[in-house]
Each structure stands twice: as C-alpha cells, then as structure tokens.
C-alpha cells in the first residue's frame, strides 16, 4: 500500500514518532514505541535519539541465542549505522510484532478444521491471526524468516528519510547520497544522524523501501574461531560484568517474595497444610492457596521457603498421577496393538514389509528442560492495573494468564519482557504468570515468585516420551533400501501444548483435547530424506497422565535419533560403509550430501570401522517462509567410547548449511550450544516418576554433562546464498544418533534408548 506522511504519523507519540507499517493488510495501529523528547521512532522498530544513538526494538525473547544481536546487526547494515552506537530494547506487546510465519506453521493448532487456509505466511488468515493475538511467540526458529524483511524495510525507509533531510540542506538529490558510519555523506560533506533525526520526520519514505543490494551477511571462512568480530554480541559485556538484568534481578519498592509448592505431576489437588506451623517463621507475610498449589510470602525468599516447608503441604490425587511404570506400559501396548494413522508417506511399503529384512524398536524417555534460571515472575497491582516482569517466550499469553490469575481484564495488564537465563522452550509455559498475579492480589503487595529447582523439576512439562518400531525391506543384494516404515507411539504433544498455550486450556482440558488424535507436528521429521521408493510414518496416539510440551529440537530431536540410528543398522546389515550408504540414497539432497562430505573431511572419517569409535548422522529441517521454503542441513561425526559404565565423547564435528550466515560467531555459538544440548539428551536429562514425583530432584541427578565432559568441538558452515535458516535447534538433532552409532562402532552393541546407557551395558 502507499505510505503517506499523514498515514505514517497516525498514532505517533508526543515526541513525533514516525510509523512505517510493514503489514501487507491495510490496517493501522498506534505506534508501539513512543518517542521521548528529542527522539524519533521509525516503524515501531527503530528509535533514534537526539544524540544519534539507534535502539532496535526486538519482538523476541533473548534466551542466550543472540537474537538481539542479529536484529541490531540487520538494522545497522541496512541503515549504515555505527555498531558502537546501536543498542536494543524489548518490544512491547503489539500487533506490529505478530509473527505470520509462526501463525502459518501452527495453523493446525489454532484452526484445526481449516488449517489449509492459513498454512502459508502469505495467507490473509495467517497474517490476521498473527496480529490479532498478537502472536508474539519465540519458537520454531522463525525469527529471521519473520522479522529480517521488516527490520530491513524499516531501516531502509529511515535511511531514505535521513538522506532526504540531508539532501534538502545541501540542495542535491537524495538518491545520490551515501549513508554509512552513522552519517549521510556527500563527498566531503557529512551530517550525522543526531542532526538529521528531527528533520527526517517531515519526509515521506519511498512507497517501496529501497534496500541495499547485499543484506547482512558474513562469509564463514572470513571469521575463524577466535578471530576479530565485526559485530560482537551486544549482551556479552553486561553478562560478563554481572550488570545484565534477568527476571530475578527485578526489585520494586515494598516488594515481598513468594515460594510455591505444586502437587505431584498429574491430576493432584491440595489436600491439607498446617498454617499454624508457619506462624513463628520470622519474616512471614502471608499464605496463599489455590486448588493445585500453596504459596508462602515472606520478606525474603528464604523466609517464604522456610514457612512453606513448615506447613508441610499435602496433595491428593483427583485423577491419574504420573508413574513411569504406567507410562512405559501404555507406550508399549500402543506400539504393539494401537491403531495407527499414516501421517506422512511416499508410496505404500505395506506389501514390502510383510516380511521385513530388519526391524528394531527404539524408546525415548521424557526429557526435562532444566534451564539455569528457574521460572521467575514479579507482579504489582496498583489502581486496578497489573504490571508483570517476566522472562517469557509468549508475552501476550503470559498477560492473559496473569489477567485470569488476578481476576481482571486483559486490557489492564502490562507485561515487561525480560531476558531469560536459558529456556529450551520451557518459557512457553505461562503458569507462573497466573500464580504471581494471584499471589500479588491476595497480599496486596508487589510480589516476586521464584520456583525452586525442585519445583521446576516437579512441575515442568517435559518433552514427550516415545516408543517406535522401525522396519526396512531391502533388495536381494542387500544394497538397496526398498521399503521403510516408522511406527511411532507417543502423545499428541503438539496438539496438547497448543491447547494450553493458544487455546488457554487447563492441563486436564488440554490432555482431553489431544486424546486419541493423530498429530503430524509431533512426528515431523520422521519421514526419511533418503530415496526409498516406499516409505511411511504412522502415529499411534497415546493418552498419558503426563502433560508434555515443546523442547529444543522438539520432534526432530526424536525423529533424527530414530532414523539415523536405524539407517546405520541398515548399512551394517548391508555390510556397507555408513557414509557411502547414506550418500548413495541422497541423490536429491545435494546440500545434505555436501554436509556429510564436509564433516567427513573435518573429522578425518575412517569409515566407522569396528572399534574406531566413530559414528555419523545427518538431518534436515524445513520452514515455510514468505518467499518459499527455507531449509537447514547438518551432519555430525562423533568419536565416543564406553568407559566405566558411562559414555565418554571425545570429539564432535559438525558441518552445517544454514543458508546465508548473518553472524558467524552467533551461528557457531548456536551450533556448539546445540551440540552440548544434544550431548545432554544423549547421556542424561531424563527422569523417572513414582507417584507423580520425579526421581531426579536436583540438577546433579539428571546426568547432565559437566564442563569436563564436554568434548572438543569443530564447527564449519557452507558458504551458501540460500535464505538464512535459524541454527538454534538444528545443532542438537543429529548429536544423539551420531554418539549412538559411535558407541556401536566402539562396543559392537546397539543403543536404542535415550538416554543412552539408561538400560546399562
């Protein structure tokens, strides 16, 4: 649509905010950012101060993945800004920041009966839903696909306005001017952003933003590990000196602290507690109870926690509570006898698999997120208005949860998004927002609620457990795979999690909504990429008492383990070298083949021969973006051994193709972090439950890798011109199968259960 100055100024603050709408639909919203004195706001994404500094509003949760740095870099390159004068700020909840890419990806969750009408980011329904929510959710690696283009367009439009303001002073055509190093330049003439920000508000940008020929990009070979960075992370200095503010650092006048006790995992309710036992605890402010939890409020968190323990809250089962034996039995029964739905297929392998050459069963235990920062939220209610400081991946949903908890209207809730100390998708859970709001209302004081580590492990929703049977049919010479079937028994976890997050359903209602439903998102990535003529994936939905949720890697973390472990078994059965066996079936996947060949060179692949301790695995992930499908590819070689009943990984090498690399250092950190997370999933991160209580109550009991357990890691990237793909989840998915395959090489034993060695050796 045509952008006019009158239209751009609609909704501007008193300081003269300049709004450049980037939505494709002709709807107008008030500027999400309000300009202060001497400031100018561009498109609700950029704020230029009177001193010329640039602040970028980031509509995504910074969880250590570096998205704030990427957003600022995209703007700095397009605008021509000096990196030292660029900062970031969290974007407020606003329709401006709705994510149509995520709305399209999750269309089956919010519009299950007609998802096909909104499963493309360009579909009107997807765009409308993303704005009306608004769907400001950090998940699924959609950040670059959804926001790089708007950030570039806003920066280009702001650059044009600055150039027009300078051109008017010099009496030249603005198109001839250069904008770089935080100034507009005409030969030897130069005007800085600070001088031009005010006059720029008087000019219209072009109807179509004039973008630079080259977007933000770094060549992988030009930035070796440890080399000088052009765009170092913005959050690193504050994290190093301790000044970085997390949710737990919030302090308000008159604030008190709350500790909370939840019931056992499953359908449990509060039965009794001894209120009098807490009366003598110094610093106790009050006690707040709900149907499924009990909280104590104190002058300090330790006082609150001491009072909570003194009250000895007891819970009783109102339905099923979680027991690992029952979970395993249900998964086993479903895998053997359950009714399956084919959710992905190419051809029909039924006839070929009447007598398969190879069949194997795999099991994946439920995995906990266990981020460093436990759930934390601070709430304050004044004059009927609730303010909430919280690290969340879903600020709008957190606001709605807080409104329900406090019993007030959503319009009276303001969320201040905080940076998160890790998440791995745990902060898609908004329950703490409702709890903090309810406690705040009950005690009529600002309250900071912090879950203890025990409560985090007790009450968190883990990644779903799964059991699978994989079958393969081969040609007479055992050299060619002709048929493949993955039969996957697991909960409809994506439907369940979507019902809680998007449908605002309770835990029991969400479990009921997912009951007996086939869930393609829960099984995504399970159809092999290999050129197998007849292949299919079947889902057997399993109804468990355990609520489940997304976790880093999500379905691909399970699917890659199943496929890449079993393809290795097929290679061994065919007496073929694992790398060449894979490459021989990847004729239509040149980018993945290049990753396999690249990682083989890096790791000095020796063929995975007996006792070599080397294993290989690869995977591909796809995302439907506005310009078409984006894909990320990765191949991993692990060198591992079994030592004294434990897994010892000596080296992990990864070669990734994530398209155009925006920031090599951030991408490398994401892949390395993903590999450590994948290592954690391979050797630990799981727990059993007895009577609803996790058997792992501390981080030390989860078997997570220590610094001494982390192997040497090598990471390389393809120099690609494809659209960028987020590496955050890609880095972890192929690690567990690579380690499992390496252990087979080292020991001659197949490890078909995650965590590996969970059944001993």
Interval 367-376: pLDDT, tens: 999 999 999 9
User: 2-16, 543-557, 623-637 — which is least confidently predicted?
Assistant: 2-16
* 440 touches 304 (CB < 8 A): no
Alpha-carbon dihedral angle through residues 511, 515, 517, 522, given to the nearest 10 degrees: 40
Instruction: Note whether residue 83 is domain-resident.
Output: yes
- Residues in the chain, how many? 761
Phi, psi (degrees; rounded to nearest 5) at 714: -120, 130
- Candidates 734, 554, 605, 579; CA nearest to 657 is 734
What per-residue confidence (pLDDT) applies to 608?
83
pLDDT tens, residue by residue, 75-127: 999 999 999 999 999 999 999 999 999 999 999 999 999 999 999 999 999 99
pLDDT at 509: 96
pLDDT recorded at residue 254: 97
For the purposes of burial, counting CB atoms within 10 Å of the CB of 100, is it exposed (0-12), middle (13-18) or buried (19 or more)?
Answer: buried
Model confidence at 9: pLDDT above 80? no
Residue 419 and residue 483 share a domain = no
Higher pLDDT, 24 or 388: 388
Listed in sequence order, the DSSP H helices in 629-734 are 664-683, 730-733
Are 290 and 441 spatial neighbours (Cβ–Cβ below 8 Å)?
no
Q: Residue 427: its pLDDT value, please?
A: 98
Q: Are 396 and 491 contained in the same domain?
A: no
C-alpha–C-alpha distance, residues 605 and 577, integer Å: 11
Q: Which residue has the tokens 């080399």?
A: 227
List strand residue ranges (DSSP E) for 530-613, in order.
534-541
Tokens of 59: 């509509």
Tokens, residue 269: 């309710």
Same domain (yes/no): 304, 361: no
- Looking at the DSSP assignment, which residues form a beta bridge with residue 631? 622
Asked if residue 12 has pLDDT above 80, the reply is no
Number of neighbours of residue 578 by Cβ within 10 angstroms = 26
Q: Is residue 308 part of a domain?
A: yes
Q: What average pLDDT does the segment 641-657 reach?
A: 93
Residue that terminates a domain, selected from 411, 426, 450: 450
H/E stretch holding 345 reads strand 341-346
Q: Give CA separation, 73 vs 46, 70, 143, 148, 161, in Å.
A: 12, 5, 14, 10, 20
Alpha helices by DSSP H, listed for 121-192, are 124-132, 143-170
Pair 43, 187 in one domain: yes
The answer to whether residue 222 is domain-embedded is no
Q: Which residue has the higher pLDDT, 250 or 2?
A: 250
E strand segments, 542-690 = 614-625, 628-643, 646-657, 689-690
507 and 539 part of one domain: yes
Residues 301 and 328 in one domain: no
Q: Is residue 13 pLDDT above 70, yes or no? A: no
Q: Is residue 295 part of a domain?
A: yes
Token pair for residue 457?
Answer: 């492990």
Residues 502 and 431 in one domain: no
**Six-digit token string for 351:** 């006839």
Mean pLDDT of 585-591: 96
Residues 253 and 749: their CA atoms lie apart, in Å, by 61
Exposure of 103 in the CB half-sphere (CA atoms within 13 A): 25
Residue-wise pLDDT for 656-713, tens only, equals 999 999 999 999 999 999 999 999 999 999 999 999 999 999 999 999 999 999 999 9
Total structural domains within the chain: 3
Q: Per-residue pLDDT averaged across 409-429, rounded?
A: 97
What pLDDT digit, counting tens, does each position of 35-80 carry? 888 788 888 999 998 889 999 999 999 999 999 999 999 999 999 9
Average pLDDT, the chain: 93
Q: How many CA atoms lie within 13 A of 717 on its CB side?
A: 34
pLDDT band at 760 (very low <50, low <70, confident <90, very high): low
Please state, in angstroms and rounded to a whole number, the distance separating the CA atoms of residues 86 and 674.
Answer: 28
Look at residue 1 and tell me whether its pLDDT is greater than 70: no
Among 450, 471, 498, identify where a domain stops: 450
Return the higher-pLDDT residue of 652 and 644: 652
DSSP secondary structure letters along 356-380: -SEEEEEEE--B----SSPPEEEEE
Q: Is residue 234 part of a domain?
A: no
Model confidence at 5: pLDDT above 70? no
**Mind listing the pLDDT tens digit for each residue in 162-186?**
999 999 999 999 999 999 999 999 9
Asked if the structure places residue 64 within a domain, the reply is yes
Q: Which of 450, 476, 504 is the last residue of a domain?
A: 450
**Residue 326: enclosing H or E segment and its boundaries?**
helix 324-337
3-state secondary structure of 578: helix
At 324-341, the pLDDT tens digits run 999 999 999 999 999 999
The structure tokens listed for 183 are: 């100034």
Q: What is the CATH number of the domain that holds 696?
A: 3.30.365.10
- Per-residue pLDDT at 25: 46
Q: pLDDT digits over 523-536, tens only?
A: 999 999 999 999 99
C-alpha dist (Å) from residue 154 to 49, 66, 150: 16, 21, 6
pLDDT at 15 over 60: no
Give the per-residue pLDDT at 42: 83
Would you state the pLDDT for residue 27?
Answer: 62
User: Are 467 and 560 part of one and the same domain?
Assistant: yes
Question: Within a domain: residue 317?
Answer: no
Q: Which pairs count as long-range contacts for 114-121, CB under 8 Å and 24+ apart, including other chains?
A: 119/624, 120/624, 121/145, 121/146, 121/624, 121/625, 121/626
Same domain, 469 and 440: no
Cα separation, 664 vs 667, in Å, equals 5
Predicted confidence band of residue 7 (pLDDT cuts 50, 70, 90): very low
**Residue 596 belongs to some domain of the structure:** yes
> In angstroms, how far apart are the furthest CA atoms of the chain?
82
41 pairs with which residues across the strands? 47
Distance from C-alpha of 565 to C-alpha of 749, rounded to nearest angstrom: 12
pLDDT in tens, 594-645: 999 999 999 999 998 778 899 999 999 999 999 999 999 999 999 999 888 8
Residue environment code for 128-155, b if the CB has 16+ CB neighbours within 10 A, otherwise e = bbbbebbbbbbbbbbbbbbbbbbbbbbb
Distances (CA, A) of 256 to 99, 284, 382: 36, 10, 15
State whether 48 and 73 are in the same domain.
yes
Residues 191 and 328 in one domain: no
Give the C-alpha separation, 529 to 252, whole Å. Answer: 53
* CA gap 399, 416 in Å, rounded: 10
Q: Is the pLDDT of residue 759 over 70?
A: no
**508-520 pLDDT per residue, tens:** 999 999 999 999 9
Judgement on whether residues 582 and 644 belong to the same structural domain of the protein: yes
Please give, one letter per residue, the 3-state secondary structure of 421-446: CCCCCHHHCCHHHHHHHHHHHHHCCC
The Cα 488–Cα 751 span in angstroms is: 18
- Domain, as residue range, for 295: 247-264+274-312+375-450
> Quick one: tokens of 605?
């692949």
Q: H helices of 390-547, where? A: 395-406, 431-443, 453-459, 493-501, 507-513
Contact 714, 653 (CB under 8 A): yes
Instruction: Identify the CA nearest to 303 among candidates 313, 311, 291, 314.
Output: 311
First to last CA, the chain: 65
């Amino acid at each position: 649509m045509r952008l006019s100055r009158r239209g751009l100024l609609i909704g501007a603050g008193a300081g003269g905010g300049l709004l450049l709408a980037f939505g494709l639909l002709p709807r107008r919203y008030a500027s999400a950012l309000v300009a202060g004195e001497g400031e100018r706001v561009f498109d609700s994404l950029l704020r230029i101060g009177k001193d010329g500094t640039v602040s970028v509003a980031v509509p995504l949760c910074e969880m250590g993945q570096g998205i704030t740095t990427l957003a600022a870099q995209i703007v700095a390159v397009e605008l021509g800004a000096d990196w030292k004068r660029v900062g970031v700020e969290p974007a407020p909840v606003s329709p401006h920041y709705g994510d149509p890419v995520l709305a399209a990806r999750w269309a089956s969750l919010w519009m299950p009966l007609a998802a096909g009408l909104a499963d493309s980011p360009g579909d009107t329904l997807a765009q409308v839903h993303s704005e009306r929510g608004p769907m400001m959710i950090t998940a699924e690696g959609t950040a670059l696909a959804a926001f790089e283009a708007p950030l570039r367009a806003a920066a280009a439009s702001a650059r044009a306005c600055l150039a027009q303001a300078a051109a008017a002073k010099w009496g030249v055509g603005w198109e001839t001017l250069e904008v770089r190093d935080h100034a507009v330049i005409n030969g030897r003439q130069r005007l800085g952003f600070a001088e031009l920000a005010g006059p720029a508000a008087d000019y219209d940008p072009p109807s179509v933003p004039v973008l630079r020929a080259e977007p933000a990009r770094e060549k992988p070979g030009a930035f070796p590990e440890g080399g000088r960075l052009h765009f170092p992370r913005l959050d690193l200095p504050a994290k190093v000196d301790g000044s970085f503010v997390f949710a737990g650092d919030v302090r308000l006048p008159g604030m008190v602290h709350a500790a909370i006790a939840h019931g056992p995992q499953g359908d449990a309710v509060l039965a009794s507690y001894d209120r009098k036992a807490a009366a003598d605890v110094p610093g106790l402010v009050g006690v707040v109870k709900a149907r499924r939890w009990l909280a104590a409020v104190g002058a300090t968190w330790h006082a609150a926690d001491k009072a909570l323990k003194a009250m000895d809250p007891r819970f009783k089962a109102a339905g099923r509570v979680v027991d690992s034996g029952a979970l395993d039995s249900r998964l086993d029964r479903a895998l053997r006898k359950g009714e399956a739905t084919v959710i992905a297929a190419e051809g029909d392998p039924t006839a070929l698999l009447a007598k398969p050459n190879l069949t194997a069963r795999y099991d994946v235990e439920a995995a906990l997120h266990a981020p460093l920062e436990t759930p934390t939220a601070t709430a304050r209610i004044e004059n009927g208005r609730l303010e909430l400081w919280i690290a969340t991946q879903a600020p709008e949903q957190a606001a709605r949860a807080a409104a329900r908890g406090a019993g007030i209207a959503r319009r009276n809730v303001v969320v201040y998004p905080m940076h998160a100390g890790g998440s791995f998708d745990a902060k898609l859970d908004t329950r703490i927002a409702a709890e903090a709001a309810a406690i705040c209302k009950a005690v009529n004081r600002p309250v900071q609620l912090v879950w203890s580590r025990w409560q985090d492990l007790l009450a968190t929703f883990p990644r779903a457990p799964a059991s699978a049977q994989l079958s393969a049919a081969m040609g007479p010479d055992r050299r060619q795979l002709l048929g493949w079937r993955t039969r996957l028994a697991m909960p409809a976890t994506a439907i369940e999690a979507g019902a809680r997050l998007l449908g605002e359903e309770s835990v029991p209602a969400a479990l009921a909504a997912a009951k007996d439903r086939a869930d393609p998102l829960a099984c995504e990535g399970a159809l092999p990429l290999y050129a197998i003529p007849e292949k299919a994936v079947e889902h057997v939905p399993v109804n468990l008492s355990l609520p489940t949720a997304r976790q880093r890697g999500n379905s691909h973390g399970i699917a890659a383990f199943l496929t890449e472990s079993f393809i290795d078994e097929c290679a061994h059965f065919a007496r073929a070298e694992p790398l060449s066996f894979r490459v021989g079936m990847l004729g239509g996947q040149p980018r993945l083949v290049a990753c396999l060949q690249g990682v083989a060179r890096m790791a000095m692949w020796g063929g995975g021969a007996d006792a070599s301790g080397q294993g290989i695995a690869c995977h591909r992930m796809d995302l439907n973006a506005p310009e078409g499908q984006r894909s990320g590819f990765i191949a991993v070689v692990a060198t591992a051994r079994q030592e004294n009943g434990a897994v010892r990984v000596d080296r992990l090498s990864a070669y990734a193709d994530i398209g155009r690399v925006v920031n090599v250092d951030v991408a490398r950190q994401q892949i390395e972090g993903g590999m450590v997370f994948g290592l954690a999933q391979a050797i630990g991160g799981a727990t059993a439950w007895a009577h609803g209580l996790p058997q792992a109550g501390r981080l030390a009991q989860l078997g997570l890798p220590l610094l001494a357990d982390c192997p040497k890691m090598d990471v390389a990237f393809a120099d690609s011109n494809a659209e960028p793909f987020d590496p955050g989840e890609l880095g972890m998915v192929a690690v567990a199968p690579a380690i499992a395959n390496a252990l087979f090489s080292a020991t001659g034993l197949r490890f078909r259960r995650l965590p590996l060695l969970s059944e001993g050796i």
